[in-house]
Amino acid sequence: MSLFDSFIGPILGGLIAGFVGFFISRYDLGQARGEHHLYDHQDNFKIIEEALTSYANKNVWALMVSPAAPDFYLDHWSKDPSTSFNKYSILNYAKNINVYEDKTLSINKTLYADIPKHFPGLGMCLQEVENSINNNSVWVDHTVFRLSDFIYAELSKSDLEVVSPDDWTSRHKLNELNESSGRLQKYAGWIFLLMIREDEKEWFGEYRKLENAGIIDGLKEYAELLRNGFGPEEIDKMADTVRATYAKIGDCCNMLEELSHKKKLKGKCNYI
């Protein structure tokens, strides 16, 4: 038996096996850390998606999104909301989840900053949402405020005959309705939707009621007169800007949903 067979061979074999085991262990550890890091991101995605949908449901554009606009009221603001706009950041989202212990749900800032390293498409989409809101909100909010003021001023002078939204049978003129009852806010909201030419399927239930009451054609004609009086170009620019922002929010939410089912994490960072 040679020296290699009896002494050196077993030593080399042991060393090789040790190195292989070491690297396999490191690989397994890296895989486990990567999976854990992905799960952390996916938990954070749920809060980010909630932050996006919460914004969409609470800002002054909400009338255009049917789930966010109960009864489609149009607010009649006493103060221009654009004057109180603060720079928007998705990271500012926080929700109180326990009023007794003052616990809040918020986005993990470290994981949020890590998104571009693993999910560059999502990182770009989220940045585009923030840019769109911060670049356009003051102008859009001011335009919606002016449009609301214009609509209410015109409704107070209109003798267009409509039905009460309480029972859908009793007849009134628009200038006979008052804001305190909520009836005028409903008509203001419906006129607003007609003026921005919102797709009827987005408010199908209310649209069908107006149709069945036999007043939708008169409201359309009246809304078109108001649209031309305010300025159709400005209305369309405002509505298109809002819809583009909502579309981008939708894109981000779709990405978040898709990424929540991923099994492997791509990219490198300091946390894995």
Question: What is the full per-residue pLDDT of the chain (272 aa) written as tens digits?
Answer: 554 455 555 554 554 544 444 444 444 445 656 677 888 889 999 999 999 988 877 664 544 444 444 567 888 888 898 898 889 999 999 887 665 666 788 999 999 999 999 999 999 999 999 999 999 999 998 999 999 999 999 999 999 999 998 888 899 999 998 877 788 988 999 999 999 998 888 788 889 999 999 999 999 999 999 999 999 999 999 999 988 998 999 999 999 999 998 888 887 776 66
Residue-wise pLDDT for 7-31, tens only, equals 555 554 554 544 444 444 444 445 6
pTM: 0.79
- pLDDT value of residue 28: 46
- pLDDT value of residue 100: 60
Residue reference for tokens 């009836």:
183
Q: Please list, residue by residue across 64-98, b when 16 or more beta carbons sit within 10 angstroms of its beta carbon and e when fewer do.
A: bbbeebeebbbbbeeeebbeebeebebbebeeeee
Measured over the CA atoms of residue 185, residue 190, residue 195 and residue 198, the dihedral's sign is positive
Rounded Cα–Cα distance for residues 180 and 6 (Å): 100
Residue-wise pLDDT for 200-255, tens only, equals 887 888 899 999 999 999 999 999 999 999 999 999 999 999 889 989 999 999 99
Token reading at 40: 């952390």
Token reading at 213: 């009451």
